[in-house]
Amino acid sequence: MTDFVAPDSGSEPELIDPEDFPNWIVEEDEGILAINKPGLVVCHPSKKGPWSSLVGASREYLQQDLVHLVHRLDRETSGICILAKDKFHARHSQMAFQQQLVQKEYLAVLEGELNEPIELKNYLAKDLESEVYIKQTVRKSNSAKRAVTHFEPLLSRSGYTLAKVLPKTGRKHQIRVHAKYLGHSIVGDKIYGPDDRHYLTFIDSGYTPKMAEALGFHRQALHAYRIHFNAPLFKRSFTAPLTQDLVQLIQTKMDCGKEEIRALID
């Protein structure tokens, strides 16, 4: 699969096309805006203006000065992201997270063939051996936090695995760290893939042909597929279909048609 795209500086967020933004909306009502965030879109506002972040674009779309980001996704992770339009919905949805009354379901394309479900339970902390400041690893320390992740293979074929991933805790980079620990890194992961120096190159120079050859995908192949809130005053579920780039990746790497993909994840 040739997926090289002209490099932008990795530290600069891509601008959102105002005409595209409404197509990202999964659900909208008087209190909630549910977005299927594409990969490479940042959640938090940046210095490049309102159309450089999900929050900024949402403010412009709603014509509101304040929009509450209920939870965030990593820049390169696509999928469901919830924003609240007012303090009431923000408070009750965020309280659901605090009270651990939220279940998340992700889809990931993994390197290698994982053939059996597995659940990891261990501790994550900063990787002291890496040049990448934000990198985490499995180890115990005074600052380590317990992390639990369940991996369920949906299809293993041609040296790759399409997996359903259920994080039961919410630690930084948890799914990506655990995937690497399993020996099945997420395809395209610049930090937890074959060489974390790809991330440093990306920050400096953007996505390069050499990186495309090594990683096989322009971003980490991780998608927040479904989120379910089960709080007393906020019982809602939201689902975000796989983004087109991930569908194409699965079709190409795993020789899997759209109907087969749909049947696997539904």
Could you confirm whether 74 is annotated as catalytic? yes
Query: Which residue type sits at 23?
Result: N
φ/ψ of residue 14, rounded to 5: -75, 145
Position 7 scores a pLDDT of 40
Which superfamily does CATH assign the domain made up of 12-98 to? Answer: Pseudouridine synthase (3.30.2350.10)
Q: Which ranges in the chain belong to alpha helices (H)?
A: 54-62, 87-98, 174-182, 197-205, 209-215, 244-254, 258-265
For 109-175, give the DSSP string: EEES---S-EEEEEEEEE-TT-S-TT-EEE---TT-EEEEEEEEEEEEETTEEEEEEEESS--TTHH
Reported as type and span, the H/E element at residue 226 is strand 222-231
CA distance 36 to 238: 10
Model pTM?
0.94
Question: Domain-by-domain residue ranges, the chain?
Answer: 12-98, 101-266
DSSP code for 13: P
The one catalytic residue among 3, 20, 29, 74: 74
CA distance 81 to 225: 10
CA distance 160 to 157: 6
**Domain 101-266 carries which CATH code?**
3.30.2350.10
Output the six-digit token pair for 173.
């980079």
> 10-residue block means of pLDDT along the chain (266 residues)?
43 84 97 96 89 96 96 95 96 94 98 98 97 97 96 98 97 97 98 96 91 95 98 94 97 95 93
Are both 12-98 and 101-266 of the same fold? yes
CA distance 128 to 136: 8
CA distance 163 to 167: 12
Count of CA atoms in the C-beta half-sphere (13 A) of 113: 8
Query: Which residue type sits at 64?
Result: Q
